[in-house]
Structure 1
Amino acid sequence: MPYRVDLSVRVEDALAELPDAGRQEVMEVVATVLVRRDAWPAMGGWDAAVRFGRRSWVVFAAYPDGIDVLDLGWAG
């Protein structure tokens, strides 16, 4: 089943400023989040969760059809 990923404007701007390695790692974390639906926070509410990569993190909220990425970071 395909899921949707929405990026907040803040996240789109942050991704654009990352070097290629950072952008790649963040997108890998997002992909991991999508396949680990059991790790999603409660859907449709104000709950959010954080998923970590080697040097990055992604904050997201969940909905029945996908996730909203609210914030991200990369320690490069």
Structure 2
Amino acid sequence: MPYTVDLAFRVEETLDDLSEDGRQEIMETIAAALVRPDWWPEPGGWRGAFVFGPRSWMWFTAFLGGIEVIDVGWAG
């Protein structure tokens, strides 16, 4: 089943400001969460979850059929 990813506006801005390495790692972290719906919080409401990469993190919430990435960070 294909899933959808929505990015909050500040996430898009953050990705634009990162180096290629940072952007790549954050996108890999998002992809890892997207294919693991068992990591997702219950859809609806404002429950969120964190996923961590080697030097990155993302905070997201779930809806039916996908996730919304609320914030990201990279320690690079």
**Within the alignment, does 1:45 sit opposite 2:45 as a pair?**
yes
RMSD of the alignment, in Å?
0.5
The alignment's TM-score, normalised by the length of structure 2, stands at 0.98
Identity of aligned residues (%): 57
**What 5-or-longer segments of structure 2 have no aligned partner?**
none
Which position in structure 1 is the counterpart of 2:67? 67
Q: Name the CA distance, whole Å, in 1 between partners of 2:69 and 2:61.
A: 7
User: Partner letter of residue 35 of structure 1?
Assistant: V
Aligned length: 76
**What 5-or-longer segments of structure 1 have no aligned partner?**
none
Which position in structure 2 is the counterpart of 1:32? 32
User: Partner letter of residue 51 of structure 2?
Assistant: R
